[in-house]
Chains A and B, each alone.
Chain A
């Protein structure tokens, strides 16, 4: 009997305490954030989406090489001597057309490793997180601002210039050979120099034919040097080049079909 009474008392006491608590919460401010209208303030340095300021990109491809998942895809075309691409806002001279700059955000792991190597600080993480799509392919963001006509123009000019240079070189060689032949008559062979120049010329031709970024680019030369040391990376680079070539062919086929 006594136990029943004390039980009843403690039950009512706890019920009223509980009701007091809920009543207090009824009038405290709610913690809900009305999402699309009101947004939480995000911390600095959030990693949400990559953005490339293509006007500042010098096409050095350091970001592409830094990416651990290979989701950046850059294509460049060497500019000809008569073209002046201007300077970036950081004062770097631009020497390459960037005809292709795709970032596949579906693959990106938001490691931000691509951001730091950039010499002109033009690839950055921006605060934009609502870009989900129904199709994975829509997550490939293209940043290049070159039109197909411009790309074609740049390619044609580069080829013309290469052709020009080659012809000049060839003429120089022929002239040299002539001179050498004349000298030969005088005596003392100097054919080794000529041989080395002919050895170099076909190599240059093959690169321009396949992918027009040229071996004059210092970074690409560096990559070749490191590629010798690291066979794995070399293989990857080759795969990339093959991909790029395939894409270029596809683009051309498309253009042709449009015509």
Chain B
């Protein structure tokens, strides 16, 4: 990719710049689309229509909202900690954007071929909870602080099952580099016709994916685990005092996080940029297409869940994590390890 860019751009910082903003472009376009999709999905699941006025079936609604947000007054509460308050949304977005570095978007594009890929992603997404606590604390508002505390508890708890399920995948792949993980899944190995994706590797991988998906829902603060921002009980959680573009950045982060965790799930379990039809429709561009398509399907499932399930209570949230997910994921880890030893 970098060589390809260098073929028509002068080498140096410009190439690096273009190279590094490609995921940003994808995230921005995706966020416009995903927010619109979320509204449409929400509307139709409740037998409504969703946005209909701006363009064909309201496709430009998010753009209109964006324009509105840019025009809003930039309010910082008088008693807030100005510096932290202003810094928090940028750290939040930087954390989720930083994680895209280690994700192979196609066979020809990965931000950085680091060998600790997954580990790096897990580590840098924890920064998100730091920024949320920062926002909650700096707002000097009880709702914000409560939301931030919940986030801290939630993120710390749910990182354990996430990491353990990721670990069980790593046992199979033997590498942390996501590009190598994806390359391992090329071809149709299982039963002759199933793509050799890791989810088909053993029945325990299906369980691992279930656990991983539940845990990532909690990490992305999506319903039913959206306690940090639960509008109906905490006003807006840590976002209460934010308005305008700063709030927009938090929103963008939330959606970028959904995509990020979906893409990690896709890479670990569903073959990443591999085509589901073996060598049919393959290549760097098709790879990007499959990667994003699979990611969007998982994002859609997240939205689907959001409009199906009610929110958990704090104690239920902790119960679910510590009494069900963590024991199950450890048992699953041992079973997968045994399966690997036997076969």
Residues of A within 8 A of B (CB): 4, 8, 15, 18-19, 21-23, 25-32, 34
10 contacts between A and B (CB under 8 A): A4-B323, A4-B324, A19-B308, A23-B304, A28-B47, A29-B47, A30-B44, A30-B48, A31-B48, A32-B48
> Nearest Cβ distance between residue B335 and chain A, in whole angstroms?
16
Residue of A nearest to B44 (CB): A26
Instruction: State A4–B324 Cα separation when bound (angstroms).
Output: 8
Q: B residues within 8 A CB of A18? A: 308-309
Known: A15-B308, A22-B45, A31-B47. 11 other contacts (CB 8 A): A4-B323, A8-B324, A18-B308, A19-B308, A22-B308, A26-B45, A29-B47, A30-B44, A30-B48, A34-B49, A34-B52
What is the bound-complex CA distance between A15 and B217, given in angstroms? 14
Q: Which residues of B contact A21 (CB under 8 A)?
A: 308
Closest residue on chain B to residue A37 by CB atoms: B52
Closest A residue, CB atoms, query B43: A30
Give the shortest distance, in Å, between B208 (CB) and chain A (any CB): 15
Closest to B305 in A: A19
Tell me which residues across on chain B come within 8 A of A23, comparing CB atoms: 304
A25 & B46 in contact (Cβ 8 Å cutoff): yes
Complex-state Cα separation, A8 to B45, whole angstroms = 26
With a cutoff of 8 Å between Cβ atoms, the chain B residues found around residue A25 in the complex are 44-47
Instruction: Tell me which residues across on chain A come within 8 A of B309, comparing CB atoms.
Output: 15, 18
Interface presence of B266 (CB below 8 A): no
**Closest 6 pairs between A and B when the two form their complex, measured CB to CB:** A32-B49, A18-B308, A22-B308, A22-B45, A30-B47, A26-B44
A17 to chain B: closest residue by CB = B308
Residues in A with CB closer than 8 Å to B41 are: 26
Query: B307 near A: Cβ within 8 Å?
Result: yes
Q: Determine the interface band of chain B, counting residues with CB < 8 A from chain A.
A: 10 to 19
* Chain A residues with CB under 8 A of B47: 25, 28-32
Q: Nearest chain B CB to A84's CB is how many angstroms away? A: 56
> With A and B bound together, what is the CA distance between A30 and B45 in angstroms?
9
A18 to B323, CA, bound (A): 24
Could you say which residues of chain B place their CB within 8 Å of the CB of A32?
47-49
- In this complex, what residue of B is CB-closest to A14? B309
Chain B, range 291-325, C-beta contacts under 8 Å to A? 304-305, 307-309, 323-324
Query: Cα distance A26–B43 when bound, in Å?
Result: 8
Return B257 CB to nearest CB of chain A, in Å: 22
Tell me, in angstroms, the Cα distance from A31 to B307 when the chains sit together: 18
Closest residue on chain A to residue B310 by CB atoms: A18
Q: Which residues from B are CB-within-8-Å of A29?
A: 47
With A4-B324, A25-B44: A30-B308 Cβ-Cβ less than 8 Å: no
* A19 CA / B223 CA spacing, docked (Å): 13
In chain B between 44 and 90, which residues have their CB closer than 8 angstroms to a CB of chain A? Answer: 44-49, 52
Chain B residue numbers with a CB within 8 Å of A19 are 304-305, 308
Chain A residues contacting B324 (CB-CB under 8 Å) are 4, 8
The distance in angstroms between the C-alpha atoms of A4 and B327, with both chains bound, is 11
Separation of A32 and B324 alpha carbons in the complex (Å)? 42
Contact residues in B for A8 (Cβ distance below 8 Å)? 324
Give the distance to chain B from A32, nearest Cβ to Cβ, in Å.
Answer: 4
Chain B residues within 8 Å of A30, by CB: 43-44, 47-49
Best-buried of B41, B43, B45, B305 by chain A (most CB within 10 Å): B45
The residue in chain A whose Cβ has the minimal distance to the Cβ of B40 is: A26
Residues of B within 8 A of A34 (CB): 49, 52
Chain B residues whose CB sits within 8 angstroms of the CB of A31 once the complex forms:
47-48
One digit per residue, 1 when the CB lies within 8 angstroms of any chain A CB and 0 when it does not, for chain B 186-218 equals 000000000000000000000000000000000
CB contacts (< 8 Å) of A27 on chain B: these are 44
C-alpha gap A26/B307 in the complex (Å) = 11
Complex Cα–Cα for A25 and B43 (A): 10
Q: Which residues of B have CB within 8 Å of A22?
A: 45, 304, 307-308
A25 to B48, CA, bound (A): 10
Shortest CB-to-CB span from A132 to chain B, Å, is: 21
In the complex, chain A residues whose CB is within 8 Å of the CB of B46: 25
Residues of chain A with a CB closer than 8 A to B43's CB: 30
Report the bound CA distance from A28 to B47 in whole Å.
7
Residues of A within 8 A of B49 (CB): 30, 32, 34
Instruction: Render B150-175 as a binary contact track against A, CB cut-off 8 A, 1 for contact.
Output: 00000000000000000000000000
In the complex, what residues of B have CB within 8 A of residue A28's CB? 47
Q: Give chain B nearest CB distance to A65 CB in angstroms.
A: 48
